Structure 1
Amino acid sequence: MQLRSILLFVLCWSGALSSFAVHFPGDSARFSAGLAGGTLGYGVEGAWRLNHRWQFRLGFTRVAYKKPFDVDANKESTFHLQPLVRMNLLHAGANWVPFRKSSFYLTGGLALQIDPSYSVSGNTLTGLHVDAINISPEEFGQARLSLKWWPVIPHLGLGFGRAVPKKRIGVSFEMGCHYLGSPKINFWTDGLVESTTLPDQIPKIEHNMRNYSYLPYLMLYVRYRLPDRN
Structure 2
Amino acid sequence: MRLAAQSVRDSIRLQPAPYAIGLQVGSTGLGIQLAKNLRPDARLVGRVGVSYFAYDGVFRVKAGDGKLNITPDLVMGIALASVKWHPFKRNQLFVTGGAGYTWRPDVKANVIAEGKVKFGGIEISEENLGVVNASLKWNSVLGYAGFGYGRSTPVRRLGFAVELGAYYLGSPKVDLQYTGFLETTTIDEQIPVIQQNLKSYRFLPSLQFLLTYGLFNRK
For residues 162 and 198 of structure 1, do their structure 2 counterparts lie closer, same or farther at Cα, with a shift above 3 Å needed? same
Residue 56 (structure 2) pairs with residue 66 (structure 1): yes
Distance 1:159 1:28 in 2: 18
Residue 178 (structure 2) pairs with residue 189 (structure 1): yes
Q: Which amino acid letter does the alignment assign opposite residue 142 of structure 1?
A: V
Instruction: Give 1:145-156 correspondences, 5 Å limit.
Output: 145-156=134-145
User: 1:87 corresponds to which residue?
Assistant: 76
Maintained 8 Å contact 2:16/2:156: no
Taking only aligned residues, the RMSD between alpha carbons, in angstroms, comes to: 1.9
SS in 2 for 1:138: helix
State the 1:114 CA deviation: 1.6
Any idea what the Cα deviations from partners look like across 1:135-186, whole Å, max 9, x if unmatched? 2211110001101101011011001001101111000000011111000010
- Higher relative strand content: 2
Long gaps (5+) in structure 1? 1-26
State the 1:127 CA deviation: 2.3
- May I ask how many residue pairs the two structures share in their alignment? 203
Long gaps (5+) in structure 2? 1-14
Question: Using CA pairs below 8 Å that are at least 6 residues apart, which structure has the higher relative contact order?
Answer: 2
Instruction: Give 1:175-186 correspondences, 5 Å limit.
Output: 175-186=164-175
For residues 94 and 126 of structure 1, do their structure 2 counterparts lie closer, same or farther at Cα, with a shift above 3 Å needed? same
User: 2:20 corresponds to which residue?
Assistant: 32
Alignment partner for residue 132 of structure 2, among 137, 143, 146?
Answer: 143
Residue 147 (structure 2) pairs with residue 158 (structure 1): yes
Maintained 8 Å contact 1:65/1:85: yes
Alignment partner for residue 196 of structure 2, among 204, 207, 229?
Answer: 207
